[in-house]
Structure 1
Amino acid sequence: MPANDVPPGVRKNPIANRTLAQSYAALPARTRLLFGLVACAVGGAGLAIADILEEKIPAQKSNATDSQQRGAH
């Protein structure tokens, strides 16, 4: 990896003193891209699984909300 790919502020900081954002910026572009793709895949899988579970196990209907039970309008 050429030294020009790393943001200038990151090169000066020792690894122990870097923030999370600086450490992320120091990663190669391909690695950052893969992190983003994996995060999107996990999110999409979570949405798909939630939809499947919602069809198989529907939410139970409640008779009244808390405010209606207390008599509030």
Structure 2
Amino acid sequence: MKHVLAVLVALLAILTWTFAGTIVELESYRATNAQGLCHVPGTDYAADAAARQQREQCLMATQTGTGPVRHLLNALGIF
């Protein structure tokens, strides 16, 4: 049982290291979206493709006050 746990922890560490950049990017996107930082009230994003594209660019470019390590911990469900 001890070996299985060690293998799982090692696999998690390898995957986290490999995909850390993508994890941080997606978690930053999620946090920005959850906080509503790029939302424009009264805009119908389903009908207006230009507004939707502008919002997507804002979501990708906006940095929350949280650092990359915190984003990793949030994505892993630790923090």
Q: Scaled by the length of structure 1, what TM-score is found? A: 0.34
Question: Which structure has the greater CA radius of gyration?
Answer: 1
**Which structure's relative contact order is higher, taking Cα pairs within 8 Å and 6+ residues apart?**
2
Q: Scaled by the length of structure 2, what TM-score is found? A: 0.32
